[in-house]
Amino acid sequence: MDIVFKNGALQKVDGTEKTWKADLVFLSMGFLGPEHYLSESLGLELDEKTNYRADKGSYRSSASHVFVAGDCRSGQSLVVRAINEGREAAREIDLFLMGSTDLP
């Protein structure tokens, strides 16, 4: 069966099913974005790739007091980029909560 990405979601293509004999099958699904049960319950806006929408730099989402960074914000990337965004988001959260920050 073929799968296509359409309107922000994976969808089956009818009539493309196939059967193969196999003793063992490995599935490589890849990163499909953040879970949406959380975004739905918090009312978070999503971007065109279905990630949680938040501006780089402030990391504020569309929900009050909710910050978003890393893969949830920008999609799958290098772990060092996610770590950097986590540090930057921590600084913004500290500034938001305390009014100032000593974090780099």
The third-level CATH classification (topology) of the domain covering 2-98 is FAD/NAD(P)-binding domain (3.50.50)
CB 20 within 8 A of CB 36: no
pTM: 0.64
User: If you ran DSSP here, which 8-state letter would residue 53 be given?
Assistant: P
Percentage helix, strand, coil, to 5, in the chain?
Answer: 30, 15, 55
**Average pLDDT, integer, range 7-29:** 82
* Tens digit of each residue's pLDDT (9 = 90 or more) over 47-103: 998 999 998 899 999 999 999 999 999 888 888 888 999 999 999 999 999 999 999
Q: Where are the domains of the chain?
A: 2-98
- Per-range mean pLDDT, top range of 15-19, 30-34, 84-88: 84-88
The per-residue pLDDT for 11 is 85
**Predicted local confidence at residue 5, as pLDDT:** 77
35/101 Cα distance (integer angstroms): 31
